Amino acid sequence: MGSGSDCEEALGDLDLPVVVPEVTTVIAGWGVAVFPFVRGRQATGADAPALARAMRLVHDHPLVGLPRLPIDETWCTETMRSLLDHPWIRDRRAEVEAQLDRLECAIERARATPRPDVICHTDFGGHNALVDDDTGEVVAILDWDRARLAPREHDLWAAFEEPDPRAYLDAYGRDVDLDRAHLEYALLARALRDATARVATERDRQGVDTWGFDRWRRLDRNLALVR
């Protein structure tokens, strides 16, 4: 099971705000899906508590037949190490190397720390959610093509993309103890994946700072919120 439609079909009959495509096809080499109409608007930063509640609903659902998310960032670490002399990052080479070393250590700690799996969307944010204007709650979560079974921390990196991560975590529920090893891995991996992709394709120079350097520079501050 690997395609978006397969994941959506696996989740579509559950009591979750998953929108299943009615038609899927390929046109001129591009995958195309037609979804039923859902009345709602794209979520914004003001909807962070609703997003957190929706994520908790997904995580609390019984498991379904999805692949397990591997803890492996080989492509990211090998690619970025080969690009350390790229003009976008060579003046900060030592900083990038330090973060790559830290990610490799975080991978080992996460692998050595068993955690229960939940259903993880893996890219859950306002860009993939529709909110009902009347209720203020999430009515549709979109783009399930990377849904996997993984520890909940692998989804909760999204909390730290919000202006107030503490409020997001409060809305998600402080009754859950989060594991620092898995959360550190998830936050580092997301930042380094996004930075590596931009450097490798030489697209979005500013995004290397926004989605890479800025993220890992606030990593320890974010981890302190869940101690």
Q: How confident is the model at residue 38 (pLDDT cuts 50, 70, 90)?
A: confident
Q: What is the pLDDT of residue 3?
A: 47
Residue 158's nearest CA partner among 52, 39, 23, 69 is 52
Tokens at 74, concatenated: 């080989």
Residue 139 CB neighbour total at 10 angstroms? 19
Q: pTM score, two decimals? A: 0.87
Q: What value does the mean pLDDT of the chain take? A: 90
Looking at the structure of the chain, the number of domains it has is 1
Which range marks the domain in which residue 43 is found?
A: 4-224
Q: What is the pLDDT of residue 30?
A: 87
Q: What is the pLDDT of residue 1?
A: 35
Report CA 67 to chain centroid distance, whole Å.
Answer: 16
145-180 pLDDT per residue, tens: 889 999 999 999 999 999 899 999 999 998 999 999
More confident residue, 226 or 85: 85
What's the CATH number where 147 sits?
Answer: 3.90.1200.10
45-73 pLDDT per residue, tens: 899 999 999 999 999 999 888 899 999 99
- Read off the amino acid at residue 218: R
Residue 112 has pLDDT above 80, yes or no: yes
